[in-house]
């Protein structure tokens, strides 16, 4: 079994921005609002479990990567989640 090197888990700033915008776009559609930025917390925005499940499905489809529901609780802001997802994408691309 090969372990990822620490450098493979480094978040790329360009990817973080792209993922933040993807999350913002998906949330604007799902929550029917335009007043969302990367600092917002999913739960403060009014996301319920169904909203998060829909967001999870869209992310899995767009990123071609499994996204556990718990991720929204571990990384509750758009910025935090985008940063985390960027490390997954970097690892997947190197794998």
- Tens of pLDDT along the chain (95 residues) come to 444 444 455 667 889 999 999 999 999 999 999 999 999 999 999 999 999 999 999 999 999 999 999 999 999 999 999 999 998 865 555 55
Predicted pLDDT of residue 88: 82
The residues, ordered by sequence, that sit 6+ positions from 65 with a Cβ below 8 Å of its Cβ are: 59, 85, 88, 89, 92
Domain residue limits at 34: 24-86
Six token digits for residue 38:
């990367």
User: Taking the CA atoms of the chain, what radius of gyration do you get in angstroms?
Assistant: 13
CATH number for 35: 1.10.1200.10
Q: Is residue 38 in some structural domain?
A: yes
Count of domains forming the chain: 1
pLDDT of the residue at 38:
95
Instruction: Check: CB of residue 91 under 8 Å from CB of residue 9.
Output: yes
What is the Cα–Cα distance from 3 to 49, expressed in whole angstroms? Answer: 33
């Amino acid at each position: 079994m090969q372990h990822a090197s620490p450098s493979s888990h480094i978040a790329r700033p360009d990817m973080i921005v792209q993922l933040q915008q993807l999350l913002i776009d998906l949330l604007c559609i799902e929550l029917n609002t335009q007043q969302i930025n990367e600092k917002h917390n999913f739960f403060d925005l009014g996301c319920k479990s169904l909203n998060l499940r829909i967001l999870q499905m869209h992310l899995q489809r767009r990123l071609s990567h499994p996204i556990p529901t718990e991720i929204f609780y571990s990384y509750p802001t758009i910025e935090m989640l985008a940063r985390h997802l960027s490390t997954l994408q970097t690892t997947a691309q190197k794998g």
